[in-house]
Structures are given as C-alpha cells and as structure tokens.
A and B are shown apart, each in its own frame.
Chain A
Amino acid sequence: MDKGSISDFIRNLQKQYTVVAPVRRRDLILFDELGSSDTPTLEFANSKLPPKGFFFPRSETLFRFSAKSGKMELTPAQTKSKPAVLMGVRPCDARSLVLLDKVFMTEKYTDTPYSRKRANTTVVGMACTDPRTTCFCGSVGGDPFDASGIDLLMTDVGHGYFMEALTQKGEKLLPHAPKTRSPTREELQKQGWIKSKARAAVERELPVEQAETNLENIYEDDFWDRVAAKCLGCGVCTYLCPTCHCFDITDDILDSNGVRVRSWDSCVYPLFTLQASGHNPRKSGKERMRQRVMHKFNYTVKNNDAAFCVGCGRCVQDCPVNLDIREVIKAVASQRRAALQPKEAPT
C-alpha cells in the first residue's frame, strides 16, 4: 500500500471500527483513538506508554453502586461494543499482549474487562525497522519482525507499507486498504535488507534464559541491597512496562453513588504489600527490587512458561537514576558465578 493511502485506509476502517493508533501529543508519542480527520504518527521508534493501556487502562471502572432508598444496586460498567483496530503496535508490545493473556485469561478466572476488549480488537503491527539502542527483544525471545500477537503486520519500506495478514482477523482488514498491489522483486529485496539490518541492531546476548536459575542461587545475596540502594522507588519502570499488570481496587463515592475502580499499582511501592496489622512482607527496597526482577524472570517462567519482559527498553530509557535491567540481568549471571566459586581460604 502506498504511504499516501494511509488516511483512506483509516477512514475506511473507521466505518466499522474504532481506530486507535500512535499520535503525537506535544513531544510524546501516545496511543489514542483517532478522530474522523486524524492521521496517525507511524514514523516513530516506540510510543512513550505501551498499548497495554487500551486493554488494561490506567484506571477503569469495574461497576457502579448506588443506594436508592436504602436498597443497594450494582451496575456493571458498560463495555464498548464497536470493534476496534489497534494500529502501529511494535512487535515487542504485541508480544506483551500474548503474555498478559496468560494472566488475565486463565482457565479458572477470566478477567472480563480485559478479555472483552481483547476479543473485540484487531492488532495491526508495525515491524520495527530502526530499533533503539536500548532495544533487546532478541534476548527475550522476540524479534523486530516477530508476529506473535499481531493480526496484520505492516512494514515501512520507504515509499509504502508491506501488508501481511497473519490471522483471519487481519485478513478482514485487507479489503479496507486502498490501492494495494503485490510487491516487486526489488521491494522484496529491500524488505529483506531492512529486516537483517533491524535484527542486527537489537541486543541478543543477554543471559535471560539462565536468569531463572541464576536468580534462585543469589536470592539471599547482598547483591540486592546494592541494586536497591540506587532505586528511588518511583515506579516509572512498572508504569511504562508493557507486561507489568499489578493493580489496586478502590472505591470512589459521591453522595449515595459510587464506583469501584481498578488502577495500575506497582510492586516497588512500600504500601503495595503492607497489611492492616502493620506487617509488611516486602518491607524494604531490597525485597521490592528482588520481587520485580524475580517476578519477571523467574516466577512468570515457572507459572506462565515465559519471562515477562519483551525487551522494549522503556524502563531503561526513563529510569531517573539509570537503573538498567540489562545490567541487572548480566550482574545476576556474574554474581552467581562469584557465589558458586569456592571462597579463598583465609591466610
């Protein structure tokens, strides 16, 4: 599809779908619903916030309650019925949705606010042609052209987009794309060249697979004191993380009406696990830092068969004290080697 046709593509889609795509808001690239004359910003490294918020919003009403003449009534929150297209999703972020599905859509308990939106949404991926220096999807099982979680994959090849339908949902979008044609041999060559250049640019060597065992070996190590000493506990890493999904549930009231709301929460906050008795099982920064790293690279591997990190690098880019998860993973490996080495006999 020619780049010039993107507006028509979106107008066509908007007849049937709500279209959510990256847009520029001041100096930030964020996902937002497009209006009837908006065009998305499709030339970007990645959005400031991951698109997880579309399925799992920062704050979301679960239900309303009201006490009418002393009688309590609960009303479920309305969920939008119009199907949606989530466009311009980088492969790392699309993979995060597959991981979040493992938490929110289990056999025993399906999180309906999340799963309704997932079922109702078609994900249009945008292959990553120019990864950032902080990108390490290749180390966590991803790839700049990874298809997981994507229904239709678009690749920017300069003058136009390659459009590859990967699922039935994705195929349904193709008829809405105007003036599409088969790629020429030169264009295919160019796509191949773009792919290998992007793949070469992402960090692939982090010892992530060994992290599960490495972490267990250094669980009690004072290594965690040293890592935590730097952390301010601001939580920005968890808010920007496409796989972080911890939440709080609270009530808001006005007169006799109220809402029960779920909002993003963060394991790096001291109140997160504080009990009513005053006891706190993760009482200092050390336990909380360890929890965050263990949860991503050990607990989820045990429970969900996958590390909950997609290598997007957002936490690396925006940490105010430059705590770098890549460095932590490397340090965990060398720390473990040190821990396993026999201690020198005192002389």
Chain B
Amino acid sequence: MKNPYIPDLATIGRIITENEAEDIKTFELSLNGSELAYTPGQFAMLSVFGVGECPIGIASSPTQLDTLQFTVKKAGVVTAALHECEEGATIGVRGPYGNGWPIRDLENRNVVMIGGGFAFTTLRSLAQYVLHSSNRDRYRDITIIYGARSPGELIYKRDLEAWSQRGDVALTVTVDKGDSGWNGREGYVPTITREVAPSAEDATALVCGPPIMIKFTIPVLRELGFSPQDILLSLEMRMKCGIGKCGRCNVGHMYVCLDGPVFSVAQLEELPKEY
C-alpha cells in the first residue's frame, strides 16, 4: 500500500509573477510520471524538500490538460522557499485533497463568483472549468466579480482580459483605489456586489477573499436574496497531513481537509466560529 505522506516529484516549468509587489507567483508544474486527477476547488500539499510542506489551492482547471498551476503568495517559510525556486527545480506534490467546488450541483444554475485579492485562485480554476467549451452549456449565467487593492495587485490579468472579450460571462473588475492609468471601477468588493446586484434566482454564490471582504459580502448576498445554502466559501486552515489525521484543521467536528475546504454559509452557521 502506498504511503500517503510520500509526495510525487514535480518539475517547475514557467513561473509567472502575478502582481506588482512580486509576492504572488504562479508556478506551472509538470509531474514526473504521475497524475493528479482533480476538480476545481481542491488543493494539494506542495513540498520544498528540506523546508517543508504546505497546502495550496489548485489554480488551473482540469480542462487545461497540458498544465497544472498553483498560485502562491509569499507568506510563511515554505511559500518563501517556493518563491526562491527557479524553473527546472524539483518539488513535491501530493493530493488532490478536499471536496472542491460542487461542479455537479452547479449545473443548470446561475453561477456567481466573487473574489478578492490573491484568494481568487480556486475560483479562477472554476471559472476556467465552467467557461470551457465542453462545459459552458451545462451552466447558465456566469457572473464574476473580482477586486484587488490596486490595479497592480490584480492577478490573472490575461484571464480577466480574455473573459472581458467573451459575451457569455458578466465580468466586473474593481480596485479599492485606482491609479492614473486606471479607467475601471473603484470600490470595495461588497459595495460593488451590491451595485452589480446579481439575481439570487436559481443562483449559487461562491465567495473567496480576505476575511474582512467575506464578512461584508455575505450580508449583501443575503439582502439580494441568496439563502445560506446557496452561498459557498472556501476555508483555509493550517494543515500538516491533508488527510484527516494530524488534528489541526478542524472547525468543530468537521475537517477542512476532508469535509471542506468548501462549506456553505448554512453549514458554517452550525459550526463553532473557530476559523
């Protein structure tokens, strides 16, 4: 039986610096002989050998057959070491873990994705997935609201550009504060969500962002008529094993690694506020 703690080896391909502050990078990985069959919203444990391991959401979509991407913000010891890695370096990957976004339940529904800052990564995976030609007709209206502190902090600019050219997705991009070159919207994500006012009818809202953004976005969605069951969040917790054993990512009796990271607001209302 395979030891679940032994990662597969992967080679870093292209590295894309995503923001002006240069502390968010997307790493393209190619697995050395193994496969990672994942769905949008799942995560994997990335290893820098000699430094350690940490959980990172998968930023690419399974529809992108030729690439596996992780967008990593430099925050702790392992992510800082990842940022030091160069193209061609070998790292470890194990996973995928977690439940992911409910892509089956979202079929025939209107999908509203609301992202803030760097936490947009697994929503970007979902967006790529639902907008892919092989999947697009299984989902109804698709709305994306994405914001960052400043224009330089918006990530996935090439995707935002591509989506803005499409007629089948309602994209709104906002920044807290623009600069001289910015012609787009200004305003915090919760405020912009109220302005865009996506209909709650047959719709599910998926929200990813900093805690403060989530805190103020949920009441807006509730006002718009979204029920707690139809607002989904993706939680982050410190993790070591990713497989429900090491005992640290629980919120009440639920494990973020096994039962999450995606939870509905209805589920979270039943759990202790320890996240």
Enumerate chain A interface residues (CB-CB to B < 8 A).
Answer: 62-63, 65, 67, 71-72, 74, 76, 103-104, 106, 108-113, 115, 219, 245-251, 253, 258, 260, 262, 265, 267, 272-277, 279, 281-282, 287, 291, 294-295, 298-299, 302-303
Which one of B50-58, B125-133, B181-189, B219-227 is at the A interface? B50-58
- Kindly state the separation between the CA atoms of A149 and B240 in the bound complex, as whole angstroms: 28
Question: From residue B165, how far is it (CB to closest CB) to chain A in Å?
Answer: 34
Q: Nearest Cβ in chain B — how far from A233, in angstroms? A: 16
- The reply to whether B6 and A62 contact each other, CB–CB distance below 8 Å, is yes
Listed from nearest, the 6 A-B pairs whose CB atoms lie closest are A276-B76, A246-B247, A276-B75, A299-B253, A109-B243, A72-B90
Q: Is B122 an interface residue (CB 8 A)?
A: no
**Are A287 and B246 within 8 A (Cβ)?**
no
Chain A residue with Cβ nearest B247: A246
Contacts of B9 in A (CB 8 A): 72, 74
Task: Place the interface of chain B in its size category.
Answer: 35 or more
Q: Kindly state whether residue B272 has any CB partner on chain A within 8 Å.
A: yes
Contact B50 A251 (CB under 8 A): yes
Q: Does B180 contact A (CB under 8 A)?
A: no
Residue of B nearest to A72 (CB): B90
A337 → B minimal CB distance (Å): 22
Write out the residue numbers on chain A whose beta carbons fall within 8 Å of the beta carbon of B50.
Answer: 65, 251, 253, 258
Minimum CB–CB distance for A170 against chain B, Å: 25
> Which B residues are within 8 Å of any A CB, using their own CB?
1-7, 9, 47, 49-54, 75-77, 79, 90, 92, 211, 236-238, 240-241, 243-248, 250-253, 258, 272, 274-275
In the bound complex, how far is the Cα of B272 from the Cα of A72, in angstroms? 43
Q: Which one of B47, B92, B243, B246 has the greatest number of beta carbons of chain A within 10 Å?
A: B246
Judge whether A248 and B246 touch: CB under 8 Å.
yes
Q: Give, as a whole number of angstroms, the nearest-CB distance from A66 to chain B.
A: 9
Given contacts A113-B3, A249-B246, A291-B250, 11 further A-B contacts (CB under 8 A): A76-B6, A109-B4, A112-B1, A112-B2, A248-B246, A249-B53, A251-B52, A272-B248, A274-B238, A276-B76, A281-B275
**A306 → B minimal CB distance (Å):** 13
**A219, B238: Cα distance in complex, Å:** 22
A295–B247 contact, CB under 8 A? yes
What B residues does A65 contact at CB under 8 A?
49-50
A273 contacts B53, C-beta separation under 8 Å: no
Which residue in B47, B54, B238 is a CB contact (below 8 Å) of A273? B238
Q: Which residues of A contact B258 (CB under 8 A)?
A: 108
Check if B2 sits within 8 Å of A247, measured CB to CB: no
Report Cα–Cα, A221/B274, bound state, in Å. Answer: 15
Residues of chain A with a CB closer than 8 A to B3's CB:
62-63, 76, 112-113
Take A72-B90, A275-B237, A281-B274 as given contacts and tell me if A303 and B49 are in contact as well, using a CB distance cutoff of 8 Å: no
Residues on the B chain within 8 Å of A299, using CB: 250, 252-253
Q: How far is the CA of A267 from the CA of B274 in the complex (A)?
A: 13
Q: Which residues of A contact B2 (CB under 8 A)?
A: 112
- Give Cα distance in the complex from A45 to B154, angstroms: 64
* A290 → chain B closest CB, angstroms: 8
Query: Whole-angstrom distance from the CB of A301 to the nearest CB of chain B?
Result: 9
User: Which residues of chain A have C-beta atoms less than 8 A from B90's C-beta?
Assistant: 67, 71-72
Most buried by B among A65, A272, A276: A276
Selected from B47, B236, B241, the residue in CB contact (under 8 A) with A247 is B241
Contact B248–A249 (Cβ < 8 Å): no
Of the candidates B2, B3, B4, B90, the one having the most CB atoms from chain A within 10 angstroms of its own CB is B3
Listed A/B pairs (28) with beta-carbon separation below 8 Å? A67-B90, A74-B92, A104-B245, A106-B244, A108-B243, A108-B244, A109-B4, A110-B1, A111-B4, A112-B1, A112-B2, A245-B247, A247-B240, A249-B53, A249-B240, A250-B52, A251-B49, A251-B51, A251-B52, A253-B50, A258-B49, A260-B53, A262-B5, A267-B248, A276-B77, A282-B274, A287-B274, A294-B252
